[in-house]
Amino acid sequence: MEKLLIVDDDLGVQKQLKWSLADYEVILADTRESAIAAVRRFEPKVVTLDLGLPPDAANASEGLAALKEILELAPHTKVIVITGNDDRTNALKAIEMGAYDFYQKPVDADVINVIVSRALSLATIESDNRSMKSVVGCDTGIIGSSEGIDRLRMMVQRIAPTEITALLLGESGTGKEVTANAIHRVSDRSNKPFIAINCASIPENLLESELFGFEKGAFTGAHKTTLGKIECAQGGTLFLDEIGDMPYHLQAKLLRFLQEKVIERLGGRKEIPVDVRVICATNQNLEDMVAAKTFREDLFYRITEITLNIPPLRDREEDVLILANFFLQQYAQEYKRNAKSFADDAMYGLRHHKWPGNIRELQNKVKSSVIMSTGTQVTAFDLGFFDKENAEYELSLNLRAVREQAETIAIQKAYALTEGNMSKTSALLGITRPTLYSLIEKYKIAIND
């Protein structure tokens, strides 16, 4: 049974809440001091807090002070503040201070149960995410709890201590480099370099010298001997991303390196022994390429000693919120923002979006939402979910309101894309910087310049 702390000086309200929330192990407190003591002792994930605590129950100063202490002591606790009908101002102030939600008396058993249940679910997700993050520091770094990811982590653990050459298969954005890095991190080579190279991003005429290096005078502009990526990975791991894009004539040279563990620099005649573990990745069908004679069959069998399939995010529904919360914490800390959780409409959007760009798309959405968010909760609007499929968002029929909505959205998205640079934001929008500031002031858009 989950622990729930109820902080209220009214004995009748205490009994009513305890009766309404009978599914929880309820702990009662009636003063700020007893509330803080209960938080220390029981570490509840959720607290309901009456803002009108003694000695000055007529105003919310004691309740707000209790909220401040609780969040300082246990910042991940979800605090639901309970107020009277005429105290909305202090309730909103409590939200600004970091409260999860507020509820106005009188108590309705069904409503308060829904609020507490949602708060507990979010607290549990965030707690699981933090636990996973602590494991990440000494383990694989592969985040998620879905069956496919559990299987992937198991395979990583099994192959990491070996020298087997692995091929990682998966759509763009699924985390192939993260998986390759995970194999390196839990292997005996973890204290040596991890070198990644994308075969599709380097021009064909430069890829060979980038991989194998070159001797001084090997070609025009080769003013000094330069080591290639393979030699730079000596003792460690070389990750060849998008191996399917490697030029055909280079594949033979790569195969010799994999079989003999020696290389020759461009312009050189000396064989150089190298001790490097190789991991490859692609989002292409190499078997079809072998059949079409665009990928060497012997190289294909050499790099597929074992194959790991990385599932797309759409097949990892239970991992979406875990990953989203992980990125939320990461970017909130990086950009010094107060965002701590996702609102209900944001979680709806995250769960129902199809994620064609996989984890990379999710990461970018959360990053921009943290920048755009003005409170402790990220909303669907902050995430850029504006259609009814992802969130309950209706466009007004008032043309003035439509224009305000559209300009507000455009400004916030441009601001996020330029990572808060006002000059770049105005340039992206095609307006002057004074006009941008004028629109921000006109629509009361919360932006930190």
Give me the CATH topology for the region 318-443: Helicase, Ruva Protein; domain 3 (1.10.8)
Q: Where in the chain is the domain with CATH 3.40.50.2300?
A: 3-134
How far is Cα 349 from Cα 346, in angstroms, rounded to an integer? 5
pLDDT greater than 50 at residue 390 = no
pTM of the model: 0.64
**Peptide bond connecting 161 to the previous residue in cis, omega within 30 degrees of 0:** no
CATH level 2 (architecture), domain 3-134: 3-Layer(aba) Sandwich (3.40)
CATH of domain 147-309: 3.40.50.300
Q: Both tokens of residue 158?
A: 């099994």
What are the residue ranges of helices labelled H in 284-343? Answer: 286-291, 297-303, 317-334
Tell me the pLDDT of the chain averaged across its residues. 87
CB 51 within 8 A of CB 63: yes
Q: Which helix (H) or strand (E) holds 147?
A: helix 147-159
Spell out the long-range contacts of 380-385 with Cβ–Cβ below 8 A and sequence spacing 24 or more: 380/343, 380/345, 380/346, 380/348, 380/349, 381/409, 382/346, 382/412, 383/346, 383/349, 383/350, 384/413, 385/345, 385/346, 385/349, 385/353
Cβ-Cβ contacts under 8 Å for 125 (sequence gap 6 or more): 321, 322, 325
Pairing of strands 262-263, 272-273: antiparallel
CATH 3.40.50.300 range(s) for the chain read 147-309
323-368 tens-digit pLDDT: 998 899 899 989 888 888 888 888 889 999 999 999 999 999 999 8
Other beta carbons less than 10 A from residue 215's beta carbon:
17
Amino acid at 394: E
Q: Note whether 266 and 306 are within 8 A (CB).
A: no
> HEC profile for 76-110?
CCEEEEEECCCCHHHHHHHHHHCCCEEEECCCCHH
**For residue range 189-243, what is the model confidence (pLDDT) as tens digits?**
999 999 999 999 999 889 999 999 999 988 888 889 999 999 999 999 999 999 9
Ranges of CATH 1.10.8.60 domains, the chain: 318-443
Given a cut of 60, whether residue 135 has pLDDT beyond it is no
Q: Which two tokens stand for residue 273?
A: 């022994």
CA 445 to chain centre: 25
φ, ψ for residue 435, nearest 5 deg: -65, -40
Are 140 and 186 spatial neighbours (Cβ–Cβ below 8 Å)? yes
